[in-house]
């Protein structure tokens, strides 16, 4: 996995390596400790990378999807390990503990704030890339998937085994199973089948003492916590066992565009009354951007949709429930589900192998946020959103409206830590991106997205103003880069991400990791025992 250095230009230089004499000392101690532990378990040291190894930088960079966090960070990891065996993870845990070194776990590297690969304190990374085996049981309709696998690899492997089995998880094929499943996992089938975490039936986890657990030995409290509460606070998840879902052999996709001139405002407004209660087999996701249409600035509303069935069954549903969109047969394409995953990833028509490409998405600088909508936004509210979007350069800012309802509502708010159930019409995802050249001026984009978020307060959920944990946002806390948030600090974002489940997460954390070994800038704090 060699990556030419030209892909990662100047910003690498911005990774200034601040290390005083004591941390240099620590670094050597850590390396020595690690190699000793490796020797004890007869592991090969070729899963250890220090900055002296030629491929260190390419390994570090290869799964970074957002360049913003790394460009702001002063530290690089002392060591990256890419374990092939659990004993290597245990060695890293042992030595991190012994030397008081921060340990970060990375699966797909898609964390919005880079928490899997940056830190303000000396740290090491356990990168799960080599632990990515997937085994599908087509009799029981289950699969064990190691957390270093990507969603694309999972989808591909399931489809290799069956035309009628699938899994409900995110859209981008390079997202990692480790962060995604442990933080929720919303995708194009979520109205029919819920989120990824709803389907986890067993897990293999290494706790703060290096002990390996399955569901039975970890207990139901901890097993509950890692299904939406985020893996990082509780341990290193090596694998999840999931219940697969049954799908029809043929599904239907469409991606219909409406501009303001084509009544986008009215149609989007109307969409809010339909999206969460239409047939569960149908998920009408909505992307909104400022676009150039024949030289004129307008808003493009892209209705990107999946129907789990044939087009002839879809059209009458649309005609009855959402005629305003004016969907016609020619807009629709029938295909096997696995091809739809390629379609939604933006690679329409390309070979399925694209799902196995772990470096398949171009990297960029971006900032994201999320909100939940419980009452339709009035038309004049939408018009104000358009004004915000038109302030930004086309393609640089986008809103995604992801409909809820259906199966998502069949679970109570406390069934698993992911609490966003009945009562939500849709989730808004705000994102703004920029290029390397514009990075010096990134405050402009950051204040744009913060301004929009602040404007949106009147239209979205309140007390708490809920947010989706997997769209991690360090703005919604009181501490932006402390690695050891207090309960009071953590409760600011804790209740937004998890609602009242935050309390139980704190309880579980204090049981399984009272010394807070597994921690990051937004990890669940243990309650002080005194
Ligand atoms: C381009 C893009 C598209 C996305 N699309 C979707 C989507 O369609 N639907 C959706 O719901 N979300 C989506 N997301 C958000 C995504 O679900 C989260 O960013 C998720 O946390 C990424 O998981 P990861 O393993 O790739 O990330 P990482 O950065 O590796 O990890 C994320 C967090 O989980 C922790 N972690 C990772 N692996 C483990 C492990 N094995 N054990 C314990 N802790 C672990 C990390 O330490 C970090 O805190 C998208 C993100 C991006 C960048
Ligand atoms: C990195 O360098 C160390 C020390 O020389 C060596 O033990 C290790 O095997 C190297 N790692 C790789 C991936 O080559
Ligand atoms: C937009 O709505 C108006 C009024 O309802 C209607 O007359 C017009 O045909 C619509 N335009 C398009 C492009 O659908
Ligand atoms: C939109 O189109 C106009 C005219 O074609 C052009 O001048 C402008 O640069 C375009 N804007 C963007 C953001 O592409
Ligand atoms: C939907 O169409 C828009 C506009 O052409 C495009 O930018 C977007 O990538 C398309 N989405 C998919 C999933 O094809
Ligand atoms: C994977 O994707 C990257 C980025 O789009 C591309 O450069 C590369 O050629 C792809 N590799 C394969 C094997 O398709």
Mean pLDDT, to the nearest integer, of 230-251? 97
Q: Which residues pair with 49 in a beta bridge?
A: 80
- If you measure from the C-alpha of residue 292 to the centroid of ligand 4, how many angstroms do you get, rounded to a whole number? 6
Ligand 6 binding pocket mutation candidate from 360, 362, 364 (most atoms within 8 A of CB): 360
Assign domain 251-335+361-459 to its CATH architecture: 3-Layer(aba) Sandwich (3.40)
**Lowest pLDDT segment from 115-119, 308-312, 412-416, 438-442:** 438-442
* Ligand 3 atom closest to Cα of residue 258: 13
pLDDT of the residue at 479? 55
Ligand 4 binding pocket mutation candidate from 289, 295, 299, 394 (most atoms within 8 A of CB): 295
- Rounded to whole angstroms, the Cα distance separating 506 from 496 reads 14
Tens-digit pLDDT profile for residues 511-523: 999 999 999 999 9
pLDDT of the residue at 361? 59
- Take residue 451 and report the two structure tokens written for it: 């301004």
Say which ligand is closest to the CA of 177.
1
- Rounded to whole angstroms, the Cα distance separating 461 from 451 reads 17
Query: Which 3 state secondary structure label does DSSP give 279?
Result: coil
- Rounded to whole angstroms, the Cα distance separating 366 from 439 reads 10
- If you measure from the C-alpha of residue 411 to the centroid of ligand 3, how many angstroms do you get, rounded to a whole number? 40
Say which ligand is closest to the CA of 207.
1
459: annotated active-site residue: no
Q: Is the CB of 359 under 6 A from ligand 6?
A: yes
List the residue whose alpha carbon is closest to atom 11 of ligand 2.
46
Q: Identical fold at 134-246 and 251-335+361-459? A: no
- Domain 134-246 grouped into CATH 3.30.465.10: yes
Ligand 1 binding pocket mutation candidate from 151, 153, 170, 177 (most atoms within 8 A of CB): 170
Q: Is the CB of 142 under 6 A from ligand 6?
A: no
Residues 49, 112, 468, 471: which is the catalytic one?
471
Tens-digit pLDDT profile for residues 24-54: 667 889 999 999 999 999 999 999 999 999 9
Q: Is the CB of 292 under 6 A from ligand 4?
A: yes
- If you measure from the C-alpha of residue 223 to the centroid of ligand 1, how many angstroms do you get, rounded to a whole number? 19
Instruction: Report CA-CA distances (Å) from 328 to 247, 253, 316, 319, 333.
Output: 24, 12, 10, 9, 11
> Is the distance from CB of 26 to CB of 87 less than 8 angstroms?
no
Average per-residue pLDDT for the chain: 92
Say which ligand is closest to the CA of 351.
6
Question: Structural domain boundaries of the chain?
Answer: 19-130, 134-246, 251-335+361-459
Q: Is the CB of 393 under 6 A from ligand 4?
A: yes
- Rounded to whole angstroms, the Cα distance separating 200 from 182 reads 9
> Is the distance from CB of 470 to CB of 506 less than 8 angstroms?
no
pLDDT range class, residue 486, cuts 50, 70, 90: confident
Mean pLDDT, to the nearest integer, of 465-480? 88
List the residue whose alpha carbon is closest to atom 9 of ligand 5.
346
Secondary structure of 446-512 in HEC code, one letter for each residue: HHHHHHHHHHHHHHCCCCCCCCCCCCCCHHHCCCCCCCCCCHHHHHHHHHHHHCCHHHHHHHHHHHH
CATH of domain 19-130: 3.30.43.10
Tens-digit pLDDT profile for residues 83-115: 999 999 999 999 999 999 999 999 999 999 999
Give the residues surrounding ligand 2 with Cβ less than 6 Å away: 45-46, 48-50, 52-53
- If you measure from the C-alpha of residue 286 to the centroid of ligand 5, how many angstroms do you get, rounded to a whole number? 11
pTM value surpassing 0.85: yes
Ligand 4 binding pocket mutation candidate from 292, 300, 389, 438 (most atoms within 8 A of CB): 292
């Amino acid at each position: 996995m060699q990556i030419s250095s030209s892909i990662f230009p100047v910003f690498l230089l911005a990774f200034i390596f601040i290390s005083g004499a004591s941390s240099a000392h620590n670094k050597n101690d850590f390396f020595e400790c690690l190699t000793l532990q490796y020797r004890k378990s007869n592991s090969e040291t070729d899963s250890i990378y220090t900055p002296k190894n030629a491929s260190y930088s390419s390994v570090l960079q290869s799964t970074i999807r957002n360049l913003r966090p790394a460009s702001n960070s002063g530290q690089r990891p002392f060591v990256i390990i890419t374990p092939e065996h659990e004993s290597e993870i245990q060695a890293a845990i042992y030595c991190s503990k012994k030397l008081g070194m921060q340990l970060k776990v990375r699966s797909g590297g898609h964390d919005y704030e880079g928490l899997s690969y940056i830190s303000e304190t000396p740290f090491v990374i356990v990168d799960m890339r080599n632990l990515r085996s997937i085994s599908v049981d087509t009799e029981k309709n289950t699969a064990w998937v190691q957390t270093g696998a990507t969603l694309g690899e999972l989808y591909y492997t399931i489809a290799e085994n069956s035309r009628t089995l699938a899994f409900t998880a995110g859209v981008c094929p390079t997202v990692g199973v480790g962060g995604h499943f442990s933080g929720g996992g919303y995708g194009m089938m979520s109205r029919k089948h819920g989120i990824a975490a709803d389907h986890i039936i067993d897990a293999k986890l290494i706790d703060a003492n290096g002990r390996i657990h399955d569901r039975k030995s970890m207990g139901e409290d901890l097993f509950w916590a890692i299904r939406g509460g985020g893996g990082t606070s509780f341990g290193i998840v090596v694998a999840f066992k999931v219940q697969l879902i049954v799908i029809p052999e043929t599904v239907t996709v469409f991606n219909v565009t409406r501009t303001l001139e084509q009544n986008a405002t009215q149609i989007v407004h109307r969409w809010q009354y339909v999206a969460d209660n239409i047939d569960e087999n149908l998920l009408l996701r909505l992307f909104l951007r400022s676009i150039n249409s024949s030289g004129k600035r307008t808003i493009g509303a892209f209705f990107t949709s999946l129907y789990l069935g044939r087009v002839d069954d879809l059209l009458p549903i649309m005609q009855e429930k959402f005629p305003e969109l004016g969907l016609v047969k020619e807009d629709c394409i029938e295909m096997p589900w696995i091809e739809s995953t390629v379609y939604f990833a933006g690679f329409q028509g390309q070979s399925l192998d694209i799902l196995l490409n772990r470096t398949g998405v171009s990297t960029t600088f971006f900032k994201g946020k999320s909100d939940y909508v419980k009452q339709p936004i009035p038309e004049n509210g939408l018009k104000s959103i358009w004004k915000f979007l038109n302030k930004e350069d086309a393609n640089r800012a986008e809103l995604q409206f992801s409909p809820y309802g259906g199966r998502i509502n069949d679970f109570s708010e406390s069934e698993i830590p992911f609490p966003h159930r009945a009562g939500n019409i849709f989730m808004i995802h705000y994102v703004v991106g920029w290029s390397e050249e514009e990075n010096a001026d990134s405050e402009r984009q950051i204040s744009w997205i913060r301004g929009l978020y602040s404007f949106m307060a009147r239209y979205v959920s309140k007390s708490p103003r809920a947010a989706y944990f997997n769209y991690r946002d360090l703005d919604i806390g009181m501490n932006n880069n402390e690695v050891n948030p207090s309960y009071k600090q953590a409760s600011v974002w804790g209740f937004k991400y998890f609602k009242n489940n935050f309390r139980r997460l704190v309880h579980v954390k204090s049981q399984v990791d009272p010394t807070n070994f597994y921690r990051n800038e937004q990890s669940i704090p243990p309650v002080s025992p005194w």
